[in-house]
Amino acid sequence: MGSDQSTPEQPIYPQPTPICATEPRFCLPHNVQLHLREKFFSMSGDDFKIADANNRDIIYFQCEGRAFSLSDKKILRDNVGVPVLNMKEKMFSFTDKFNIFAGEGSERLICKFNSQITFLKAKLSTVFSDVLNGGIQRHLVLKGDWRSKRCTIYLGEPKQGGIPLARIFRPLTERSFFLGVDDYIIEIAANVDIALCVIMCIALDEHSRER
């Protein structure tokens, strides 16, 4: 897995009720630490395999990009290959940078990611209807240092008392050092939609490549 898998010190907080944008099965009753492992031999250049950080045999998701596609579409599939959601980048937008749809098509829009990356800082925010809580509007914000890839996902704006739900960092591994691939560790609190957190991390990676 690599030599350093320490995480930022800021704690994350399990939620008393699920925060769910996709499906109930992705709101686990316990904290989980996932390893987003970029595939080195990838036509699109940014495919990921997402497994348990402590047991690579436990697969949660795989993310595939479409090479040579003008839509720049990423599909997140579960561990048996069923499409969970897909992300389409809006090529000429400077505000709502990514659209997130359910499944593999574009019939149901889950949310939009507003992405802002400067020389040192990254911020990605979204609002979605919680499918398990009567459609209540949830506001998630990913914020941190994109160059070191250390970020936190909050429920609400951090400056207004947002609650940390997940944290992301990039471990130093032999793969990243010698092959130049990007691996991430993301720790997600209990009752928080892991599929949504994973695609937020992938969106951060996607946008940071354009800088």
CA angle 77, 79, 80 (to 5 degrees): 85
Which pLDDT value is given to residue 45? 47
- Does the pLDDT value for residue 182 go beyond 90? no
CA distance 53 to 157: 28
CATH of domain 24-208: 2.40.160.200
The tokens 């290959």 sit on which residue?
81
Which pLDDT value is given to residue 39? 55
- Does the pLDDT value for residue 125 go beyond 70? yes
First-last CA distance in the chain: 27
- Does the pLDDT value for residue 6 go beyond 50? no
CA distances from 22 to 59, 85, 108, 180 (A): 18, 8, 11, 32
Check: CB of residue 167 under 8 Å from CB of residue 186.
yes
pLDDT one-digit tens code per residue, 78-121: 999 999 999 998 766 555 589 999 999 989 999 999 988 766 78
Cα dihedral sign, 41-210-89-132:
positive
Q: How confident is the model at residue 65 (pLDDT cuts 50, 70, 90)?
A: confident
Tokens standing for 193? 């939609």
Q: How confident is the model at residue 206 (pLDDT cuts 50, 70, 90)?
A: confident
pLDDT one-digit tens code per residue, 135-178: 999 999 999 886 666 899 999 999 999 999 999 988 765 555 44
Which pLDDT value is given to residue 50? 95
**Which one has a higher pLDDT value, 200 or 6?**
200
Which pLDDT value is given to residue 150? 87
DSSP letters of 65-118? Answer: E-TT-TT-EEEEEETTS-EEEEEEE-TT-SSEEEEEEESSSSSSEEEEEEEEE-
